[in-house]
A and B are shown apart, each in its own frame.
Chain A
Amino acid sequence: MKRFGFLSWALLFGYAFLYVPIALLVVFSFNESRLVTVWSGFSTKWYAELLHNDALLDAAFLSFQVAAVSATLSVLLGTCAGLALTRFGRFRGRTLFGGMITAPLVMPEVITGLSLLLLFVAMEQWLGWPDGRGVTTITIAHTTFTMSYVAVVIQSRLAGMDGSLEEAAMDLGARPAKVFFVITLPLIAPALVAGWLLAFTLSLDDVVVASFVSGPGSTTLPMVIFSSVKFGISPQINALATLMVLVVATGIFVASIVMARQERQRKRDEQMAIQNG
């Protein structure tokens, strides 16, 4: 950029808008005082308190469990859905299927939560299952709304893949199931990982749907944060938030370094190929 013009200022303002709140959050997690807005000295005591907050730790454990299971289920279901939508051509009910896959993306969370709760209540009434609400119902609910995101990610990867790769494998004698496991799956692996992480994050982030479908004794981490934030701010939440930001930032940082390295390697290889060609 030649001069620091309007665009640069706009960009700067945008990034400040995005990052200053997070930065303040982190800074005040090390504040001595309970008042999180007035600096009164450096302290890590809120982190220590966090470690002794059993309710919060239990909720965190539960949330990670739900997120891991529902993300895995989402990837399985989303892969099937993505394959069905990109590779199977027309089949009966495809339009309804496509609609049901994308609808949860735009469905307000309150409706998703309410409708699933009503389903679980009705099922319990008619079938006697699920017996009350808890981890199982939260996991099912999270799987349902995260699988749509996963399906979209995998679908776009499959659609972007050269379809003749699978045809070539079949032409060379591989049966469809084998083609899927030996060719398709390795090639869409990055999308599977991305989809899993997305589903995991969405599940770990959800408070509305979980509030509807959880039962006594199954409080997730966002639900704990939500109720404590409603009563006002607490430095412990700042400390927790800082840890979460740290984890995400580290993850993204590592991922981008790995990706950048792969990109450089690919460029080098191509250069070499041109010279040898």
Chain B
Amino acid sequence: MRTVVSVLVSGLSRIGLWGRGVVVAIPYLWLLLFFMVPFLIVFGISFSESIIAQPPYSSLVEWLTDEDAGTSKLQILLNISNYFRLGGDDLYILAYLNSLRIAAVTTLMCLAIGYPMAYAIAKADPARRGPLMMLVILPFWTSFLIRIYAWIGILKGNGVISNLLEWVGITSGPVEILYSDWAVYIGMTYCYLPFMVLPLYSTLEKMDPSLLEAAADLGSRPFKSFLSITLPLSLPGIIAGSLLVFIPAVGEFVTPELLGGPDTLMIGRVLWNEFFANRDWPVASAVAIALLLVLVVPIMIFQHVQGKQAEAGR
């Protein structure tokens, strides 16, 4: 019995050594296979041609065998016409600009609603802060689709807002807000608000209240103190929150699809249509790569800010 145990134990200690390797390898391989490789495939297919076949794209690499010479050679065809199409067609350019504009407006609206909320919660009684924050995050746990759906009933003609306006007497007929850019702004602001409030709250909550007392002691009025002390110190939170809203908003698909009108073009929608309606996989891939390029800069800023925050926290 003792020998069995000791063999087991020495075996286990050997496992301990390569156990670390396994712990790293499993998620590593998973991500390589299901994140890195797919990304490279998208990149590759963006250089291929659309053909009517299964799958509907041409192969980049071909073995050409010359029967007479008895030789064969590897031929790689890179077709950059997909990218030219993106650059040449107003539809795509408009969709990119629209995405950036809608994401920017959404970010500003989130900031306008979220900053006072975060500030009020950070100033509230410490015992109340937890529950108040909980109430902000709670909607995030309910389905995204359901939350968008809720707005359809409110924004449509004969919907809640329309009926309310009519009842008050401001308008005399049904008002249709649905299927417009405004519906998309409202829907996206609604969905992304928690992402703005969270980082804002965490920077405002950490701020030393004696800073404001010191400013007041030195003769600064509350509003002036807010502008010269609170606002600059909460800048990292503003940047983090804005990017947390802006980045996913650029690539958003569901909200413009459900709340937007036919002319509310966003890049996610274009990609979806190229893929599902036109079955043009190479162009869809090129749209995806171009979308990523748009997002690279904000993502880099975000990583930079997060890195600085992490350093400061140490």
Contact = CB atoms under 8 A, between A and B. Distances in A.
Contacts of A55: none
B27 A81 contact: yes
B24 A110 contact: no
Contacts of A226: 145, 254, 258
A118 B38 contact: yes
Interface of B: 12-13, 15-16, 19-20, 23-24, 26-28, 30-39, 41-42, 45, 55, 113-114, 116-117, 119-121, 123-124, 131-132, 134-136, 138-139, 141-154, 156, 158-160, 163, 190, 193, 247-248, 250-254, 257-258, 268, 271-272, 275-276, 281, 284-285, 288, 291-292, 295, 299, 302-303
B120 A13 contact: no
B116 to A, nearest CB: 3
A108 B270 CA distance: 13
Main secondary structure of the interface of A (DSSP, over half): helix
A78 interface: yes
Contact of A222 (B143, B152, B158): B143
Contact of A104 (B35, B150, B152): B35
What's the interface size class on A, roughly?
A: 35 or more
A274 interface: no
B116 A115 contact: no
Contacts of A147: 27, 30
Contacts of A141: 34
12 contacts: A10-B113, A21-B190, A88-B20, A114-B285, A119-B37, A144-B34, A175-B16, A176-B16, A204-B143, A226-B258, A229-B148, A252-B141
A151 B80 CA distance: 37
Interface of chain B, main secondary structure = helix
A140 B116 CA distance: 41
Contacts of A248: 138, 141-142
B137 to A, nearest CB: 9
A110 B251 contact: yes
A230 B19 contact: no
Contacts of B119: 7, 10
Interface stretch (A22-30, A45-53, A185-193): A22-30
Given A11-B117, A22-B150, A118 B134 contact: no
B304 to A, nearest CB: 13
B280 to A, nearest CB: 12
Nearest to B306: A102
A257 to B, nearest CB: 12
A143 B34 CA distance: 10
Given A24-B154, A80-B26, A106-B295, A237 B38 contact: no
Contact of A100 (B36, B42, B154, B258): B36
Nearest to B33: A119
Nearest to B268: A110
A28 B154 CA distance: 11
Central interface residue in B38, B147, B268, by most chain A CB within 10 Å: B38
B142 A244 contact: yes
Nearest to A5: B120
A98 to B, nearest CB: 10
B113 A14 contact: yes
Contact of B23 (A7, A80, A233): A80
Residue picked from A38, A205, A212, most chain B C-beta under 10 Å: A205
Contacts of A204: 143
Contacts of B276: 211
A175 B12 contact: yes
B116 A11 contact: yes
B308 to A, nearest CB: 16
B146 A108 contact: no
A193 to B, nearest CB: 14
Contact of B268 (A17, A108, A125): A108
Contacts of B281: 118
Interface string A238-260: 10110011001101100010000
